[in-house]
Structures are given as C-alpha cells and as structure tokens.
Structure 1
Amino acid sequence: MHMIVGLGNPGREYENTKHNTGFMTVDALAADMGADRWQQKMAALVASVSFRGETILLVKPQTYMNDSGRAVGPLMRWYKLAEPQVYIVYDDMDLPVGRLRIRKSGSDGGHNGIKSIFANGCTEFIRFRIGIGRPLPQWSVVDHVLAPFTPDVLPAFQEGVAAAVAAIKGCLELGVDKGMNRFNPKKKRE
C-alpha cells in the first residue's frame, strides 16, 4: 500500500492557486487511475484505487496547507504505513514553473506544509516537488502562492502536472530509485 498526498487548501477561493499544485496533481492522478469516490477521513479527503494489484490511497488534507501534518500523520499511522510508502506532492518556488523534482529526503525548504508534516512524525517520505517559480519583485510570497497561474505559464505548469502523474505511477511500478533516474530532469553537460 502507498499513500499519495497532494498538499493544498480546501475551498473554492483556492482551487486554481499555485499553492494547490498538490491537489491538482492528485486530482489528475485520480482521473488517470479511475478514482472517483472521495470520503472524509481524519481531516482529509481520501480515495482508494488499485494500481497493479496494490491499494493506493489518494489524499487531499482538508486542514489548510500550514496544518497538513494533522491529516498526514494520523492517516499514515492508521494504515500502518512506513514513511517511504508516503509520497507528498507540493509546490516549490525554487523550481521553474512546471519543473518536477523527486527526492527521497531533505529539509522542509521553508514550505509550511512540509514543516507541519515533519512536526507530525513523518520526515522520510518521498517528495514530488513541482515548480511554481519565484514571485515578481512587487509581489509577496503569500500573494504569489495564492494567485492562479498566468496564461503565459499555464501550459508549462500543466506539463509539470502530467509529468508528476507519470512519475508517481513510474515510482510505484519501478521503485523510487529507478523512478528518480527515469523521471528527474537530467542535468545538461557542458
């Protein structure tokens, strides 16, 4: 069993914001895998689907981003999952829009949702970070993450979500190490 968690904020006003990158990716994964029945469980919306004979839980915490761990920690313990069986999908300002980066460990990188997950007993989960770019000089970080993507960068973001869906499925099928080799962007040689 694996649990795929997309981070975001519940509510219509946040639906298409950059901070809801995780929700949008899990929704795309749910559509791809045929999951359409969501249930409220432990402060999250949860859908269960079978993928290659394995049960996969798709999770969207309903606690708001900065308190995501209050949903992730209890679900992980309830289902008796080891931390590497938990995949967390979230937005990252340090990556260009749509760029995917998969990591097995790391710091919270200043991301409050990840800080909350750390504080709730889960630190060795698999990270699927999708770039949302840096804010314009006149924008605050909060304004940036709570704004929708502009039309000029929306296609790159949508490509990033599609790449993340393929990478998550690839990691489930091949294992994380092989998945990282296949789906992480390759560094260009000079």
Structure 2
Amino acid sequence: MEAIKLIVGLGNPGREYVNTRHNAGFWWVTQCAEITRIGLKPEPRFFAVAGRQLGDEALHLLLPQTFMNLSGKSVAALMHFYKIPVEALLVVHDELDLQPGEARLKKGGGHGGHNGLKDIAAQLGTLDFWRLRLGVGHPGHKSEVSNYVLNPPKVDEMGEIESAIMRSLHVLPEILRGDLSAAMLKLHTKV
C-alpha cells in the first residue's frame, strides 16, 4: 500500500477564477496546506504554487499555474523531479457528475471530459492514479458546461461544497498513510 506523496489541486490561476467551480481542487489543497502547516509558494520549475513537508514520508502539495488544460505539465515536472510513482498521486478536482456536497475517492477510470485529468493522463501515460472528486453539479446540458464551471456556485451550493471539503479533509490521515480503502469507507458512508 503506497502512501500518498503528492496531492494536486486542480484549478485555474488568476483572480477572476478564484471563486469558480473549476477551482474546487485549489480550495481543497489550500485547506489541506493549513491543516498540515505546509507553506505554499511559487515554484517556477514546476509551473506551480507548491509546498512540501519533510519527515518519514515527504508530502508535496501542488497547485498548477498552467491553467486547467495544461495541468499535466506541472504534475509531471514535480513527479519526475522527486521521482514520485503514479500510485502515490492524488488529484483533487471538481466533478460535474456529483452533486454539491458529495465527495468521492476513486482510483483510475476515465477522465469524463475533464481537461485537467485528460492532460495529466497524457503527460503521465496513464489514468491509473487516485482522485478525490468534489461534486459541483451539472448545468443540465453539455453546451453549458464550460460557462458553468467558470462561474461561482450559488451561495447554497458553495455551502454544500465547503461541507464536502471539510468532510473529505477528515480522512486526510488515512489518505496520507496510504490506507485509501479506509478513507473511502469513512468518506462514502452516510452518517
């Protein structure tokens, strides 16, 4: 069981994107940085804002600054530099197929049209990595998706997304020690 060594939050850089649904991965990793006390700073060699915690198992946090469609460039740069295997990667991203308030862990699968996942898979040559999917809901029609993810959620939806972020951060200890099945059980079980 491989411990997670790199957590990537997907989003778009720039003030105009800060509160958009597509930045749910950024929100999660920013909260994770606070909990783990990992300082995030610009890292030009990784095309990102990044930080790391040293210890028995180094933990890297990464917020690619390449825009969503080129996220893989940043992820691959850091993974190659630190020789992190794909089994130790967790990508946190917005998920149209889940409602706001839902969070799901899974390993592998398709990219579901998500351009960030698509580019990471292209750069790494595989889709077989862990994902934490944060539900943002679906606008109802495929043609509305781009506009939908690049806009902020409604106030009640934002509350639900924040609640899912906090709930999923409760399984961070299991995630970090590589016990993803325990993390999934805890996260996916309704109480």
The 8 Å contact of residues 100 and 185 in structure 1, kept in 2 or not, is answered as no
The residue that corresponds to 1:145 in the other structure is 149
Residue 169 (structure 1) aligns with = 173
Q: TM-score, normalised by structure 1?
A: 0.90
CA distance in 1, matches of 2:12, 2:173: 24
SS, match of residue 138 in structure 2: coil
CA separation of 1:185 and 1:137: change in aligned 2, threshold 3 A: same
Contact persistence 1:83–1:123 (CA under 8 A): no
Aligned to 2:42: 39
Report the more deviating stretch, 6-15 or 31-40: 31-40
Matches within 5 A, 1:69-108: 69-108=72-111
Residues in 1 aligned to 2:40 and 2:75: alpha-carbon distance in whole angstroms: 19
Measured against aligned partners, the alpha-carbon deviations of 1:153-180 in whole angstroms (never above 9, x if no partner) come to 2211110111222233322136112222
**Given the superposition, is the C-alpha separation of residues 174 and 86 from structure 1 closer, same or farther in structure 2, using an over 3 Å criterion?**
closer
Distance 2:188 2:108 in 1: 14
CA–CA separation in structure 1 for the residues paired with 2:16 and 2:189? 32
In structure 1, give the amino acid aligned to 2:186. R
Contact 1:72/1:117 (CA < 8 Å) preserved in 2? Answer: yes
Secondary structure of residue in 1 paired with 2:153: coil
Q: Where do residues 6-155 of structure 1 align in structure 2 (5 Å cutoff)?
A: 6-40=9-43, 41-50=45-54, 53-121=56-124, 122-135=126-139, 140-155=144-159
In structure 2, the CA distance between the partners of 1:174 and 1:71, relative to structure 1 (3 Å rule), is closer
Note closer, same or farther for the CA distance 1:149–1:79 as it changes in structure 2 (3 Å cut): same
Contact 1:90 1:129 in 2 (8 A): yes
**Distance in 2 of aligned mates of 1:14 and 1:169:** 30
Tell me the distance in 1 between the aligned counterparts of 2:178 and 2:17. Answer: 34
2-side partners of 1:150 and 1:42: how far apart?
Answer: 33
SS of corresponding position for 2:156: coil
In structure 2, what is the Cα distance between the partners aligned to 1:9 and 1:137?
23
**What is the root-mean-square deviation in Å for CA atoms of aligned residues?**
2.1
* Identity level (%): 34
Q: Secondary structure at the match of 2:108?
A: coil
- 5+ residue gaps, structure 2, are none
